């Protein structure tokens, strides 16, 4: 039912949300990122909310919404599955809003064990089709990234926490190369001319410099964090990239290549 039809009914008051076309397009752009919640109750709520937007769209825009829907195609090929995790996501949201400490059981992939501890959940963030949180580990006081799907159970406690004044989540994300947030690393990587244009079109680190070479190749210098992520990324270019610095990263990649060569004998 469109808004223009509803206006003909007597004694019905409708909210005047006055959404413009650019605003509706922006909302549907965000909806295109809903892949995280596909198949969950949260995904159903998102669809319900957007159906209401269609109902209350201003005259002249309602007919365009069906066309707008086709502009943004959600891509969920590598998205993680959060079906069955709705309660945990809702509880984390409540804990963040109320600043309540939580008791969690968490599957640690580093040692493949289920661990129990208390956290102060601070922020959600999305990365490569996965939902993560920044959480302060109550016992140690350090802030870590945690994958939401690895939280087995969680309970809100009666303890409250203060959001750390010295923590900036956007700064933490911008300083990390990918998903690992750890000690800083200064890397210098050579890229062939064939890959130079690809590398130059993106911002890989908050602090980076690109030096053009006479043969069309480039050298990327960057300050970031996430040793393992940088290693994995550099390896993905094969012989089209060479790590020049630091020595530890260059040696780690060399050792990895030797292992791969052993596998493909």
**pLDDT by residue (tens digit) across 40-86?**
666 677 777 777 766 666 665 656 666 666 666 655 555 677 788 88
Q: Is residue 255 part of a domain?
A: yes
Q: Which of 90-94, 182-186, 239-243 has the lowest mean pLDDT?
A: 182-186
Determine the pLDDT at residue 237. Answer: 96
Tens of pLDDT, residue by residue over 200-211, are 999 898 899 999
**Pair 187, 248 in one domain:** yes
Q: What is the SS3 assignment for 139?
A: coil
Which CATH number fits the domain that encloses residue 244?
3.30.70
Of 139, 167, 195, the last residue of a domain is: 167
Q: Is residue 36 part of a domain?
A: yes
- 205: which 2 tokens? 């680190």
**Pair 211, 230 in one domain:** yes
Q: Which helix (DSSP H) or strand (DSSP E) does residue 62 occupy?
A: helix 62-69
**What is the rounded average pLDDT of the residues 149-163?**
95
Determine the pLDDT at residue 129. Answer: 74
Q: Is residue 33 part of a domain?
A: yes
Of 69, 104, 123, the last residue of a domain is: 69
- 11: which 2 tokens? 């004694």
pLDDT band, very low/low/confident/very high, at 265 (cuts 50, 70, 90) = confident
Radius of gyration (Cα) for the chain, nearest Å?
24
Length of the chain: 265
Q: Is residue 210 part of a domain?
A: yes
Query: Considering the chain, what percentage of its residues have pLDDT values greater than 70?
Result: 73
Q: Is residue 74 part of a domain?
A: no
Which CATH number fits the domain that encloses residue 112?
2.30.30.520
Classify residue 31 as left (phi > 0), alpha (psi -120 to 50) or beta.
alpha
**Pair 18, 53 in one domain:** yes
Residue partners of 29: CB distance under 8 A and separation at least 6 = 72
**Averaged pLDDT score across all residues of the chain:** 82
Q: Is residue 11 part of a domain?
A: yes
Which one has a higher pLDDT value, 8 or 215? 215
Task: Give the burial class of 52: count Cβ atoms within 10 A of its Cβ; 0-12 exposed, 13-18 middle, 19 or more buried.
Answer: exposed
**Pair 61, 96 in one domain:** no
Which residue pairs from 22-25 have beta carbons closer than 8 angstroms and sit at least 24 positions apart in sequence?
24/53, 24/57, 24/61, 24/64, 24/65, 24/68, 25/68, 25/71
Position 134 pLDDT exceeds 50: yes
Range of the domain at 126: 86-167
Q: Domain count for the chain, please give it.
A: 3
Are 157 and 108 spatial neighbours (Cβ–Cβ below 8 Å)? Answer: no
Beta bridge pairs of residue 40: none
Are 118 and 138 spatial neighbours (Cβ–Cβ below 8 Å)? Answer: yes
**What is the rounded average pLDDT of the residues 217-246?**
94
């Amino acid at each position: 039912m469109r808004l223009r039809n509803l206006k003909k009914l007597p004694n019905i008051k409708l909210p005047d949300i006055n959404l413009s076309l650019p605003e509706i397009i922006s909302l549907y752009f965000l909806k295109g990122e809903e892949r995280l919640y596909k198949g969950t109750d949260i995904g159903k709520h998102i669809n319900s909310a957007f159906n209401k937007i269609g109902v209350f769209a201003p005259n002249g825009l309602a007919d365009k919404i069906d066309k707008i829907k086709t502009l943004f195609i959600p891509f969920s090929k590598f998205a993680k599955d959060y079906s069955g995790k709705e309660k945990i996501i809702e509880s984390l949201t409540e804990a963040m809003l109320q600043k309540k400490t939580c008791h969690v059981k968490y599957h640690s992939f580093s040692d493949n064990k289920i661990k129990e501890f208390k956290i102060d959940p601070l922020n959600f963030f999305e990365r490569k089709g996965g939902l993560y949180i920044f959480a302060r580990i109550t016992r140690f006081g350090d802030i870590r990234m945690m994958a939401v799907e690895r939280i087995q159970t969680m309970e809100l406690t009666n303890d409250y926490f203060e959001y750390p004044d010295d923590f900036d989540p956007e700064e933490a994300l911008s300083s990390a190369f990918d998903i690992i947030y750890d000690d800083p690393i200064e890397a210098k990587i050579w890229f062939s001319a064939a890959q130079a244009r690809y590398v130059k079109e993106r911002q890989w680190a908050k602090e980076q410099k690109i030096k053009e070479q006479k043969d069309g190749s480039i050298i990327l210098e960057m300050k970031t964090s996430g040793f393992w992520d940088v290693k994995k990324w550099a390896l993905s270019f094969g012989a089209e990239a060479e790590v020049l610095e630091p020595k530890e990263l260059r040696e780690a990649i060399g050792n990895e290549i030797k292992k791969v060569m052993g596998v493909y004998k």
